[in-house]
Amino acid sequence: MKLTMFLVAALLVALSLACSKVNNPRTATESTASAVSPDSGTDSNSERGKKMPEKIIKTDEEWREQLTDEQYYVTREKGTERAFTGQYYDLHEEGTFLCIGCGNELFGSDTKFDSGTGWPSFWSPITKEAVKIETDNSYGMRRIEVLCSRCDAHLGHLFDDGPAPTHLRYCINSVALKFDKKK
């Protein structure tokens, strides 16, 4: 039974990746990671950024008290919400997307675009220091994971099939975000 569930999950992940390659056959590789390194200059919104606050470190128990079960699963256990179910994938208001764990400013609505994937997608973080990226080798594939640089919350993944000017797609879980509407 466990093997069957694992195989079904692996098939679903493979299908998801195949769907993301339909519009662009390129895949996220280390070249994508280097394209968004802190020195890459892909940050289009650095004038809005502030000096990064100190690192947030909490115990699992503290995170469980602060976050809902789904928020904890996605941000602390590196889970993924189902496509087209998050509250922000189809949001078109002006404002700033913050980390649900620590309030770190992550993405501006001016870099959000409709990728058709069912998750909020952005072509650039609000500042290059707002997020960090790491290689993710889970589920037998290599992807680029996007994390909050302040509290290490798992946010989503980075792909190189986004629009100009960066050609990047930060595919982010809605449940990992809080939206601060522009007043």
For residue range 12-47, what is the model confidence (pLDDT) as tens digits? 444 444 334 333 333 333 444 444 443 333 434 444
User: What CATH code would you report for 26-181?
Assistant: 2.170.150.20
User: What are the backbone dihedrals phi and psi of residue 175, each rounded to the nearest 5 degrees, phi first?
Assistant: -65, -15
Amino acid occupying residue 73:
Y
**114 close to 78: Cβ distance less than 8 angstroms:** no
d(CA 61, CA 88): 27
**153 close to 102: Cβ distance less than 8 angstroms:** yes
Note the pLDDT tens digit of each residue in 62-72: 999 999 999 99
d(CA 131, CA 85): 23
Burial of 110 (0-12, 13-18, 19+ CB in 10 A): middle
Position with higher pLDDT, 178 vs 27: 178
For all residues of the chain together, what is the average pLDDT? 81
Buried b (16+ CB within 10 A) or exposed e, 17-42: eeebeeeeeebbeeebbebbeeeeeb
Position with higher pLDDT, 12 vs 128: 128
Q: Which residues contact 90 (CB under 8 A, 6 or more apart)?
A: 114
Identify the active-site residue in 99, 148, 151, 171.
Answer: 171
Catalytic residue at 102? no
Burial of 168 (0-12, 13-18, 19+ CB in 10 A): buried
